[in-house]
Amino acid sequence: MVLIAAFLNFLYPSGHFEADPGTINSAPILCSIGLLAAAAGAQVAMSRQLGMPEIPTTQATAAYVDLFVDPNFFAGIRKNRSRNRRILFILTLCIGSFIGAPAYHYSSMALALFLGGCVKIVVTGLFCFNSSQMERRISKIGDGTEDSPTSLKRALDTV
């Protein structure tokens, strides 16, 4: 959806220059806004479905607050995955801002949207290599880190 919005912005440019009053509420611009809104909603739904509430894809304020009120903020790197995800979320948000702003200013909004769409495609591809919670729990049982015979049932019931 983001790439389609970028394509529409490429065909019907809008941006930091003075727009023609007749094209301000034109169909391509309104379609771009609708596509971006639908993509943002789908991203929020996907993050909730994947069980990653520490990545609030719609706002950065919640990530800042959750990061600094985390009681295990100073725990080791391997002991606090939620904190690590929040830090990476904030860092990638800042890096994306520093890349997207010049792309928008010196080139066009279409380029900034295209770069954002490419990042979304890469992240979506990375989900193919991510193991599910159930697979991780079952592998712990096979490794002997979970010891009771009811661990498998418990792992399957909680997923």
pLDDT by 10s per residue, the chain, length 159: 888 888 888 887 765 556 556 556 677 778 888 888 888 878 777 777 777 666 666 667 777 888 888 888 888 888 888 888 888 888 988 898 899 899 888 888 889 889 989 988 888 787 777 666 556 666 666 665 555 555 545 555 555
146 in a domain, yes or no?
A: no
Give the count of domains, the chain: 1
How distant is the alpha carbon of residue 114 from its chain centre? 15
Return the sign of the alpha-carbon dihedral for residues 86, 90, 96, 99.
Answer: negative
Residue 158 is predicted with a pLDDT of 56
Residue 63 is predicted with a pLDDT of 77
Please report which residue ranges of 25-150 form alpha helices under DSSP H. Answer: 27-49, 61-68, 81-106, 109-126, 133-143
Q: What is the pTM of this model?
A: 0.62
How far apart (Å, rounded) are the C-alpha atoms in residues 34 and 28?
10
76 in a domain, yes or no?
A: yes
Using an 8 Å Cβ cutoff, are 34 and 68 in contact?
no
119 in a domain, yes or no?
A: yes
Residue 15 is predicted with a pLDDT of 58
Residue 24 is predicted with a pLDDT of 61
12 in a domain, yes or no?
A: yes
93 in a domain, yes or no?
A: yes
Q: For residue 95, what are the domain limits?
A: 2-131
Residue 10 is predicted with a pLDDT of 83
Using an 8 Å Cβ cutoff, are 98 and 65 in contact?
no
147 in a domain, yes or no?
A: no
How far apart (Å, rounded) are the C-alpha atoms in residues 93 and 130?
21
